[in-house]
């Protein structure tokens, strides 16, 4: 299983980013290979609109079946839901991407089953 986590940096020690569409990076953890991959989200950082949709499409292309983030807007939510990507919230958690992964694996993160407010992460 591949798990995508929003991040401020390009390795697993970077701080988690609560934004989805405008996150600096998506870190993809491949459980089968026990390996990390970094995917910069450069194209969406300054996008006038559509950042969440494009980010959702990028996550789907990685083959991830889980997304760990803070907030997912309505349009991104539809894209992720259509891609059968389960979404989990970091809530008010701070720490590293590695911490978020551990919390997910321990079942400590809440499922995101409804979209958040638009432009929350701007």
Give domain status of residue 119, yes or no. no
CATH of residue 106: 3.30.420.130
Measured in whole angstroms, the distance separating CA 28 from the mean position of its chain's CA atoms is 9
User: What does the pLDDT look like over 87-110, one tens digit per residue?
Assistant: 999 988 889 999 999 999 999 999
Give domain status of residue 120, yes or no. no
Name the domain count of the chain.
Answer: 1
Instruction: Please give the C-alpha separations between residue 32 and each of 22, 40, 54, 99, 110, in angstroms, as whole numbers.
Output: 28, 22, 26, 19, 23
pTM, to two decimals: 0.90
Q: Structural domain of residue 92, as residue ranges?
A: 2-111
User: What does the pLDDT look like over 41-53, one tens digit per residue?
Assistant: 877 656 556 688 8
Q: How would residue 121 be classed by pLDDT, with cut points 50, 70 and 90?
A: very low
Which pLDDT score is estimated for 50? 64
Q: 3-class SS at 54?
A: helix
């Amino acid at each position: 299983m591949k798990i995508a986590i929003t991040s401020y940096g390009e390795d697993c020690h970077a701080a988690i980013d609560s934004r989805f569409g405008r996150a600096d990076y998506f870190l993809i953890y491949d459980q089968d290979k026990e390996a990390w991959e970094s995917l910069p989200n450069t194209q969406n950082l300054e996008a006038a609109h559509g950042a969440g949709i494009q980010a959702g499409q990028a996550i789907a292309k990685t083959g991830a079946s889980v997304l760990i983030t803070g907030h997912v807007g309505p349009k991104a939510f539809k894209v992720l839901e259509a891609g059968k990507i389960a979404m989990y919230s970091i809530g008010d958690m701070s720490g590293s991407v590695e911490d978020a992964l551990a919390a997910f694996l321990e079942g400590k993160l809440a499922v995101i089953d409804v979209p958040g407010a638009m432009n929350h992460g701007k």
